Every structure is written in structure tokens, then in C-alpha cells.
């Protein structure tokens, strides 16, 4: 087996660390901001207006149908359906009944694979318990897999309880780890990395065991990790974290969570694709403006033979579709 990591990555291409009050490495200032926003979050959740606002958001939830164009080497995955659930933020503005209803809707789509993109909890470790009955709604044939998000790491003492709970409910955690799955006899590598800002992501470990040229899907909570993944022959990266801005004014989000502008929808670099979901839940305030919640259902689509000759045209179509999401 050849080294699955290209020479350019061995030379040190790595994603720059985001910085700021709302992102970046954990500092005392960020802790104070997080504790303050959590207090506001919990207070609003106790008020009738908070619940009313959240019900409005949940009614806007869409199970976005998304076509994932495959490169030639991945055409064996044609027809595979992936449900991508990220940024649930269980707890504030998201109770057990909400989650059960959402997961039941996802189950009706009959996905072959269910992937969780992190931030399952909001501000308390015990919020994991709200997912118990909801997870029973899902039983995809290829299984369920998850990566941690910044909230899971920031508000949890460590990932031990998080991992144990998910394992008990048939969800495998891929934190700098990977696994080989098969779709109709065609193998592919599914892997995940730790959160960029609160954890220690290591793509080399996540890709260890991957065969040279094997189709690869990567879970990364923070979309900026695509900068590194795109250089590693990763076909598809799935991310969340941004909430699509959560509040957008004239098409722009006042708060930026991505150094590269990866806010929502499709992004392309060479043969590598990134899809950024707006996510299911909210944080801080139960308000979304021009960024409705979503649970994307991705369908892998093999290219027609004449499309293989024009990869630039396919990339242009992907970029154009991102502006419509």
C-alpha cells in the first residue's frame, strides 16, 4: 500500500487556526464570553417567548435534498444516501420531543448512512440524555458515525462520557480515526477528525489504513479543515459549525465562523468537495434570519461519461448551487 497522504501535505499544508471571541483556542476571555452567553441562553429558554421563537424555527426545518457529484474513481457509490445531522445543540431551545420528531423525519428518508457533525449538546453534558429516544428512530444499514464539535468539548469534562453514550446507542465516534465501509460491494473510507478549535485534529491518523485511491468521506465539525483535507485526496468533507451565519442581513452574516468564507453549501477545490450544513439547532438566541435549519440528505451521483471530460464544468455547477442553498 502506498502512502495515502500526498507529498504536499507532508511538506506541511495545515489549516490556520481561527482567532476571536467566538472562535479560536480556549482562553479565559472566551470562557467568560461562553459562560455569559450560556446564562442568557438558559434564561431565554425558560421564558414562553423563547419556546415560541424556537417552535417557529423548527417549523422551518428542511430536509434539504442534495446531489453529490462523484469523480470517476468513486462512481461505485452511485445511489448511496447520507443523512447529515449537525449542530443539534440539544438542551436550550431543543428538547427530547423536538429531537425525536426530527429524527423520525430523517428515518422516513431511508438513508443508508447517518453522520453527525458535532455540537450534539449545547451548554451541559447531561443534555446528551435528550438524544436517547431520538436515536432509536434511526437504523441505517451502514450505521451511524459522529465527530465532536466545539460545544461537546468545551462543556464536557472530556469525551469519555460522550463516547460511551453514543456507543451505547449504536453511534461510532470517529475522532482522528477511520473505518472502511462498503456500498453494494464497493469499499470507501469514512473518517473523522477532532474539532479544530477545541480539540487536536490529526488527518494523518484519520487516513491511516486508507488504500491508495480509495474514495474518502471526511467528517470535520469546523469547515476550515477542508483547506487541509482537499490536499489529501479526500473526495467529500462534511461540516457544520457556522449555522449558515444563523442571522444574515442582505445575504451576509455579521458573525464569521470561517476564515475562508465557508458558511453554507458547496465549495470545490480540484476534485475535492466540501458541503457545509446550516445545521439543525441554534445557540445563544432562538433566532434564524435567512438561514433556516436543515438536515441535508445527500445522494451520491456518478457522472455521465461525457461529464468526466469536463471536470471544470462540474465544479462550476457545484459553486453555482452553493449560492442557491
pLDDT score of 40: 73
Flag whether 3 is in a domain.
Answer: no
pLDDT score of 311: 45
Flag whether 137 is in a domain.
Answer: yes
Q: How many residues does the chain have?
A: 325
- State the pLDDT confidence band at 218, using cuts at 50, 70 and 90: very high
Beta-ladder partners of 256: none
Cα gap 315→114, rounded to integer Å: 26
State which H helix or E strand residue 8 sits in.
helix 7-10
Flag whether 123 is in a domain.
Answer: yes
Instruction: Kindly report which listed range (51-55, 184-188, 228-232) carries the lowest average pLDDT score.
Output: 51-55
Torsion of CA 308, 313, 316, 318, to 10 degrees: -30
Flag whether 88 is in a domain.
Answer: yes
Residue with cell 453554507: 264
Complete DSSP assignment for 49-102: HHHHHHHHHHHT-B--EEEEEPPGGGGGGTT-EEEEE----BBTTB-HHHHHHH
pLDDT score of 224: 94
Q: What is the number of domains present in the chain?
A: 1
pLDDT score of 20: 57
pLDDT score of 312: 46
User: Which residues are within 8 A (CB) of 170 and not within 5 positions of it... i.e. 6 or more apart?
Assistant: 135, 139, 143, 144
- State the pLDDT confidence band at 24, using cuts at 50, 70 and 90: low
Cα gap 17→25, rounded to integer Å: 8
- State the pLDDT confidence band at 12, using cuts at 50, 70 and 90: low
The CATH number given to whatever domain includes residue 130 is: 3.60.21.10
Residue 86, pLDDT above cutoff 50: yes
Q: What is the pTM of this model?
A: 0.86
Name the more confident of 1 and 275.
275
Flag whether 12 is in a domain.
Answer: no
- State the pLDDT confidence band at 25, using cuts at 50, 70 and 90: low
Q: Which domain holds residue 51?
A: 21-322
Find the DSSP H helices in the chain: 7-10, 28-45, 48-59, 96-108, 132-135, 150-154, 159-168, 203-207, 226-229, 305-308, 311-322
Flag whether 15 is in a domain.
Answer: no
Flag whether 6 is in a domain.
Answer: no
Cα gap 268→275, rounded to integer Å: 9
Instruction: Give helix 28-45 / helix 48-59 axis angle, nearest 10°.
Output: 90
Cell triple for 187: 469499499
- State the pLDDT confidence band at 16, using cuts at 50, 70 and 90: confident
pLDDT score of 295: 96
219: DSSP letter:
E
Residue with cell 425525536: 100
- Mean pLDDT across the chain: 85
Q: What angle do CA 16, 18, 24 make, to 5 degrees?
A: 130
- State the pLDDT confidence band at 26, using cuts at 50, 70 and 90: low
Flag whether 90 is in a domain.
Answer: yes
Amino acid at each position: 500500500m502506498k502512502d495515502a497522504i500526498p507529498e504536499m501535505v507532508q511538506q506541511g499544508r495545515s489549516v490556520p487556526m481561527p482567532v476571536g471571541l467566538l472562535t479560536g483556542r480556549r482562553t479565559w476571555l472566551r470562557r467568560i464570553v461562553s459562560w455569559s452567553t450560556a446564562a442568557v441562553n438558559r434564561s431565554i429558554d425558560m421564558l414562553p417567548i423563547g419556546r415560541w421563537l424556537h417552535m417557529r424555527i423548527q417549523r422551518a426545518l428542511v430536509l434539504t435534498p442534495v446531489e453529490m457529484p462523484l469523480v470517476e474513481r468513486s462512481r461505485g457509490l452511485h445511489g448511496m444516501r447520507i443523512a447529515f445531522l449537525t449542530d443539534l445543540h440539544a438542551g436550550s431551545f431543543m428538547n427530547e420531543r423536538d429531537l425525536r420528531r426530527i429524527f423520525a423525519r430523517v428515518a422516513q428518508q431511508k438513508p443508508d448512512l447517518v453522520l453527525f457533525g458535532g455540537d450534539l449538546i449545547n451548554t451541559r453534558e447531561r443534555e446528551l440524555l435528550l438524544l436517547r429516544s431520538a436515536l432509536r428512530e434511526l437504523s441505517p444499514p451502514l450505521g451511524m458515525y459522529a465527530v465532536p464539535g466545539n460545544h461537546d468539548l468545551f462543556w464536557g469534562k472530556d469525551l469519555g462520557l460522550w463516547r460511551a453514550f453514543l456507543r451505547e446507542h449504536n453511534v461510532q465516534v470517529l475522532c482522528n480515526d477511520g473505518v472502511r465501509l462498503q456500498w453494494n460491494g464497493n469499499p470507501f473510507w469514512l473518517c473523522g477528525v477532532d474539532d479544530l478549535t477545541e480539540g487536536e485534529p490529526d488527518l494523518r491518523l484519520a487516513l491511516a489504513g486508507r488504500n491508495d485511491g480509495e474514495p474518502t468521506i471526511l467528517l470535520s465539525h469546523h469547515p476550515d479543515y477542508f483547506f487541509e483535507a482537499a490536499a489529501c485526496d479526500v473526495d467529500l468533507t462534511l461540516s457544520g459549525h457556522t449555522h449558515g451565519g444563523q442571522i444574515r442581513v442582505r445575504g451576509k452574516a455579521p458573525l464569521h465562523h470561517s476564515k475562508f468564507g465557508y458558511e453554507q453549501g458547496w465549495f470545490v477545490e480540484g476534485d475535492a468537495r466540501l458541503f457545509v450544513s446550516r445545521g439543525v439547532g441554534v445557540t445563544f438566541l432562538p433566532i434564524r434570519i435567512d438561514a433556516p435549519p436543515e438536515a441535508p440528505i445527500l445522494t451520491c451521483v456518478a457522472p455521465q461519461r461525457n461529464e468526466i471530460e469536463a471536470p471544470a464544468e462540474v465544479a462550476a455547477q457545484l459553486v453555482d448551487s452553493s449560492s442557491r442553498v
